[in-house]
């Protein structure tokens, strides 16, 4: 059973355990994304899946297609973008609807594999409380490596959406896996699971995927256009008020999500108020402590500044010069 002790923000000096490496650049551009990728790409061998949130139709905050296209052209020529259909009815509910939305949003420069298009399969969850297995799109077994390319932002139910949410919800299939995460058995409310239990279920779902790929997983979080809303809300997302920060990359899922959260908390109260409020009111920090309890990574890390000769910096250093949000 989970302890559920760590549901509040824990400063770095109060964390225990080993440290992982997290790379950081302030360069929010195709060149910045490429620079971050090249620090964590050595383990991506064979057929590579790139898991990203391709967004609802005309979604304003998703990672720019031109950035991803440039990355594919230079480094990922044989890779495929991977997604799954949604649990809620909308523009990505069926495969046909989903492919239309992909076309509208410009994801046409690379293959896009909707992994649950033809079926699902159960993958084991080691050490979980809620699950012993998770239902994922069965195409996921066709890949050797996984790049988790995440737009870090808030989330209506998860508090924040980082690499953990991108995999945990995004790789679970649209009818079975996502229902296992969101809906209490026998409930008429499809969103009946929330707060700590939801964070634990998301994390356990993620664990099924990263255990499968082992060391052949890399993570990139893009901290840009960070609405308190998820990209699944599309044009209905709340206006962005949090400053843009930069791009992080790591081989450790907990370290990169923890570092992203730390950078938010390191901002001034004025700059981070809305996003911190969203994270805390939804009990989103439980994602981090749950991942640690499940042995999914380290919440202590060394932050490496790719813009300044790979100097070791603090989250405060990283956000010292952030400016009020401006759409880029």
3-state secondary structure the chain: CCCCCCCCCCCHHHCCCCEEEEEEECCCCHHHHHHHHHCCCCCCCCCEEEECCCCCCCCCCCCCHHHHHHHHHHHCCCCEEEECCCCCCCCCCCHHHHHHHHHHCCCCCCCEEECCCCCEEEEECCCCCCCCEEEEEHHHHHCCEEEEEEECEEECCCEEECHHHHHHCCCECCCCHHHHHHCCCCCCCCCCCCHHHHHHHHHHHHHHHHHHHCCCEEEEEEECCCCCCCHHHHHHCCCCCCCCCEEEEECCHHHHHHHHHHHHHHCCHHHHHHHHHHHHHCCCCHHHHHHHHCCCCCCEEEEEECCCCCEEECHHHHHCCCCCCCCC
Q: Please report whether residue 241 resides in a domain.
A: yes
**Statement: residue 301 has pLDDT above 80:** yes
Task: Dihedral sign for Cα 9, 13, 16, 18, please.
Answer: positive
Residue 80 pLDDT:
98
**Cα torsion through 62, 66, 71, 72, rounded to 10:** 100
Q: How far apart are CA 145 and CA 200, in angstroms?
A: 25
Which of residues 85 and 6 earns the better pLDDT score?
85
Domain presence at residue 4: no
* Pairing status of strand 246-250 against strand 217-223: antiparallel
Neighbours of 214 (CB within 10 A): 10
Inside any domain, residue 60: yes
pLDDT attached to residue 183? 98
Domain that holds residue 138: 12-319
| C-alpha span between 306 and 215 (Å, rounded) | 23
State the pLDDT at residue 236. Answer: 78
Tell me if 81 is assigned to some domain: yes
pLDDT (tens digit, 9 = 90+) per residue, 24-36? 999 999 999 999 9
Residue 5's pLDDT is 60
User: Would you say residue 5 lies in a domain?
Assistant: no
In this predicted structure, the answer to whether residue 4 has a pLDDT above a threshold of 80 is no
What contacts 247, CB < 8 A, 6 or more positions away?
24, 25, 27, 28, 32, 33, 35, 36, 220, 221, 222, 223, 224
Kindly state whether residue 46 falls inside one of the protein's structural domains: yes
Q: Calculate what percentage of the chain has a pLDDT beyond 70.
A: 98
Q: Is the pTM higher than 0.85? A: yes
At 174-228, the pLDDT tens digits run 999 999 999 999 999 999 999 999 999 999 999 999 999 999 999 999 999 999 9
Cα distances (angstroms) measured from residue 204 to each of 61, 128, 208:
27, 6, 7
Q: Which two tokens stand for residue 268?
A: 């001034």
Question: Residues 6 or more apart from 81 whose CB is under 8 A from it?
Answer: 49, 50, 51, 52, 54, 68, 107, 110, 111, 112, 113
CATH number of the structural domain spanning residue 264: 3.40.50
Do residues 319 and 245 touch, judged by C-beta distance below 8 A?
Answer: yes
**Is 57 a member of any domain?**
yes
Asked if residue 327 belongs to a domain, the reply is no
For residue 19, the cross-strand partners are 300
Q: How many domains does the chain have?
A: 1
């Amino acid at each position: 059973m989970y302890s559920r002790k760590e549901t509040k923000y824990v400063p770095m000096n109060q964390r225990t355990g080993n440290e992982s490496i997290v790379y950081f650049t302030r360069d929010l551009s195709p060149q910045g994304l490429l620079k971050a990728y090249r620090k964590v790409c050595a383990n991506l061998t064979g057929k590579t899946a790139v898991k990203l949130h391709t967004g609802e139709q005309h979604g304003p905050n998703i990672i720019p297609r031109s950035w991803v296209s440039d990355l594919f052209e230079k480094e990922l020529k044989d890779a495929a973008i991977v997604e799954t259909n949604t649990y809620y009815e909308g523009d990505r509910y069926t495969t046909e609807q989903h492919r239309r939305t992909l076309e509208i949003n410009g994801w046409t420069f690379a293959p896009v594999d909707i992994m649950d298009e033809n079926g699902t399969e159960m993958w084991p969850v080691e050490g979980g409380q809620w699950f012993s297995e998770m239902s994922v799109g069965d195409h996921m077994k066709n890949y050797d490596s996984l790049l988790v390319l995440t737009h870090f932002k808030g989330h209506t139910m998860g508090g924040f959406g980082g690499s953990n949410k991108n995999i945990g919800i995004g790789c679970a299939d649209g009818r079975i896996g996502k229902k296992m995460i969101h809906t209490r058995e026998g409930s008429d409310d499809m969103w009946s699971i929330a707060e700590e239990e939801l964070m634990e279920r998301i994390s356990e779902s993620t664990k099924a995927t990263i255990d499968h790929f082992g060391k052949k997983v890399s993570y990139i979080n893009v901290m840009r256009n960070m609405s308190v809303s998820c990209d699944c809300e599309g044009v209905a997302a709340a206006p962005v008020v949090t400053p843009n920060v930069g791009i992080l990359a790591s081989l450790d899922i907990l370290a990169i999500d923890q570092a992203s959260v730390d950078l938010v908390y390191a901002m001034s109260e004025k700059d981070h108020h809305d996003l911190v409020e969203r994270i805390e009111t939804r009990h989103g920090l439980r994602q981090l402590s749950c991942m640690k309890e499940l042995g999914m990574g380290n919440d202590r890390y060394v932050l490496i500044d790719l813009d300044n000769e790979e100097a070791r910096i603090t989250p405060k250093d990283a956000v010292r010069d952030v400016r009020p949000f401006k759409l880029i």
